[in-house]
Amino acid sequence: MLAEEPFSLTVDPYWILVAIVQFAILFFLLQRFLWKPILTTLRERADRIRQGLDAAESARREREEMKVEVERMLGEARREAAAIAERTTKAAEAAAAEIRTHAKADADHVRERAKADAEQLHRQALAQLRSEVASLAVLAASRILGREIDAKAHRELIDRSLDEAGPRLGRMS
For residue 152, being part of any structural domain is answered with yes
Residue at 2 is within a domain? no
119 close to 140: Cβ distance less than 8 angstroms: no
- Answer yes or no: is 119 within a domain: yes
pLDDT in tens, 92-135: 999 999 999 999 999 999 999 999 999 999 888 888 887 777 77
Q: What pLDDT was estimated at residue 146?
A: 63
pLDDT per position as a tens digit, 20-54: 999 999 999 988 888 888 889 999 999 999 999 99
Contacts of 155 (CB under 8 A, 6+ apart): 134, 138
Number of compact structural domains in the chain: 1
Q: Is there a domain that residue 136 lies in?
A: yes
**pTM to 2 decimals?**
0.41
List C-alpha distances in Å: 53 to 41, 43, 48, 59, 61. Answer: 18, 15, 9, 10, 12
Amino acid at 124: Q
Mean pLDDT of 74-86: 95
Is 3 domain-assigned?
Answer: no
Closest CA to 135 of 143, 52, 78: 143
Tell me the CA end-to-end span of the chain in Å, nearest whole number.
Answer: 177
